Structure 1
Amino acid sequence: MTEVALEAQFTQWREYVHRRPELVASDADELEDHLRDSVDGLIALGLRSDEAFLIAVKRMGGLDELSREFAREHSERLWKQLMFTGDDPRKARSGRDLIAMLICAAGAAVSIKIPELFGQRYDGDGMFYATNFALFALPWLAAFLAWKRRPGIRVYAVLLGLFVLGAVAANAYPVGDESQSVALTASHLPLALWLVVGLAYASDNLRSSRRRMDFIRFSGEWFVYLVLIGLGGGVLITFLYGTFEAIGVEPDQFIWAWLTPCGGVGAMVVAGWLVEAKQGVIENIAPVLTRLFTPLFAVALLAFLVTIGVNGHGIDVNRETLVLFDLLLAVVLALLLYSISARDPQAPRGMFDVLQLVLVVSALAIDAVVLITMTGRIAEYGTTPNNVAALGENIVLLANLAWAAWLLLRFVRRQGGFPAVERWQTAYLPVYAVWLWAVVLILPPLFSFR
Structure 2
Amino acid sequence: MSGGSGPGASGPDGSGPGGGGGDLEAQFAQWRSYVQRRRVLSAGDVEELEDHLRGSVDELVGAGLREDEAFLVAVKRMGSLDELSREFAREHSERLWKQLVLTGDGDAPAGSGKRRELLVLVACAAGAALSVKAPELFGMDYGQDGEFYAPNASLFAFPWLAGFLAWRRHAGKTMIGVLVALFALGAVAANVFPLAEDSQSIVLTSIHLPIALWFAVGLAYVSDDVRSPRRRMDFVRFTGEWFVYYVLIGLGGGVLIAFVVGTFTAIGTSPETFVAHWLAPCGAAAAVVVAGWLVEAKQSVVENIAPVLTRLFTPLFTAVLLGFLVTLVVTTSGIDVEREALILFDLLLVVVLALLLYTISARDPLAPAGVFDKLQLALVVSALLIDAVVLWEITGRITEYGTTPNKAAALGENVILLANLAWSAWLVLGLVRRKVPFAALERWQTNYLPVYAVWAWLVVLLFPPVFGFM
TM-score norm. by structure 1 comes to 0.88
Which residue pairs with 2:323 in the alignment? 303
- Amino acid aligned to 2:354: A
For 2:70, the equivalent position in structure 1 comes to: 56
Look up the match of 2:209.
189
1:43 aligned to 2:62?
yes
Q: 1:357 aligns with which of 377, 382, 401?
A: 377
Measured against aligned partners, the alpha-carbon deviations of 1:222-272 in whole angstroms (never above 9, x if no partner) come to 111111111111111111111111111111121111111211111100000
In 1, are the aligned partners of 2:162 and 2:217 still within 8 Å (CA)? yes
Which of residues 120, 126, 133 in structure 2 aligns to 1:100? 120
2: CA distance between counterparts of 1:29 and 1:145?
Answer: 24
CA offset at residue 311 of structure 1? 3.8
Q: 2:274 aligns with which of 241, 251, 254?
A: 254
Q: CA deviation at 1:366?
A: 2.0
Matched, 1:77 2:97: no
Q: CA deviation at 1:56?
A: 3.5
In the TM superposition, residue 38 of structure 1 has moved relative to its aligned partner by: 4.7
Name the count of aligned residue pairs.
Answer: 434
Between the aligned partners of 2:142 and 2:463, the Cα distance in structure 1 is: 27
Inter-CA distance 21–360: structure 2 relative to 1 (3 Å threshold): closer
- Structure 1 match to 2:8: 8
Q: Pairwise CA RMSD of aligned residues? A: 3.0
Distance 2:58 2:303 in 1: 30
Distance 1:20 1:75, change over 3 A: farther
Q: What is the rounded CA distance, in whole Å, between the counterparts of 1:282 and 1:106 in structure 2?
A: 24
> In structure 2, what is the equivalent of residue 116 of structure 1?
136
Q: Tell which has more relative contact order, 1 or 2 (C-alpha 8 A, sep 6+).
A: 1
- Tell me how far 1:219 sits from its aligned partner: 0.5
Distance change >3 Å, CA 33–CA 281, structure 1 → 2 = farther
Task: State the one-letter code of the partner of 1:434.
Answer: V
What is the CA deviation profile of residues 102-140 of structure 1, one whole-angstrom value per residue up to 9, with x for unaligned ones? 010011112221111110111124411111111110000
- Compute the TM-score of the two structures, normalised by the length of structure 2: 0.85
Matches within 5 A, 1:60-209: 65-68=88-91, 75=105, 77-78=107-108, 88-90=109-111, 92-209=112-229
**Alpha-carbon distance, 1:34 to partner:** 7.0
Question: 2:343 matched to which residue of 1?
Answer: 323
> Quick one: distance in 2 between partners of 1:216 and 1:145?
15
Aligned mates of 1:226, 1:424 — CA distance in 2: 28
Distance 1:16 1:193 in 2: 26
Other structure's SS at 2:113 match: helix
> 2 CA distance for matches of 1:327 and 1:237?
28
Shift in alpha-carbon separation, 1:326–1:6, aligned structure 2, 3 A? same
Tell me the distance in 1 between the aligned counterparts of 2:37 and 2:354: 24
1:19 is paired with a residue whose SS is: helix
Distance 1:315 1:178 in 2: 24
Contact 2:6 2:54 in 1 (8 A): no
Percent of matched pairs sharing the same residue: 56
**Which residue of structure 1 lines up, in the alignment, with residue 286 of structure 2?**
266
What secondary structure, in the 3-state scheme, does the structure 2 residue paired with 1:280 have?
A: helix
Other structure's SS at 2:107 match:
helix
